[in-house]
Amino acid sequence: MTEPFTPLDRSGHARMVDVTEKQPTVRAATASGKVRCGPEVLAALRDDAVPKGDAFAVARIAGIQGAKRCAELLPLAHVIGVHGATVDLRLEDDGVRIEATVRTADRTGVEMEAFTAVSVTALALVDMVKGIDKAVEIDEIRLESKTGGKSGSWHRPEGGGDE
């Protein structure tokens, strides 16, 4: 009999869940987050005047790369094929909204890859603008939706709760 899908063995020790017997299915996950920043940073981003260069391009590529490197960062994450990854950045009144969607056809989901994409995008954006304003901060990183796999689809309810 196979072990249940849990990150703990019978002795309570951490282990990587064995997904060998699972069939690959199409899966997707979308996560979002925010880099909060002041008017000076927003103006530099809007006017493409960030001293280090194209902040959005660098952050977008960093986020995609982060999704592909997730298993190297998280010790119990599976190495999976990232078959699609998009990172979108949008200026808002108090910062930059980040949304990343990651897709695969594999044995396990891509929620952690989507979280990693948003996190690395945010870190890269902070790195690009920290010379303008040291007070920028990363906030509100969360899962928005996931599809595929045994547990099926989940979408964050309107209003942002997680019921």
Catalytic residue among 88, 94, 106, 127: 127
Please confirm, yes or no, whether 127 is among the known catalytic residues.
Answer: yes
Angle between helices 111-129 and 55-68 (to 10 degrees): 150
| DSSP bridge partners of 85 | 102
Residues 6+ apart with CB under 8 A from 39: none
Judged by phi (left if over 0) then psi (alpha if -120 to 50, else beta), residue 70 lies in: alpha
List, by residue number, the catalytic residues: 127
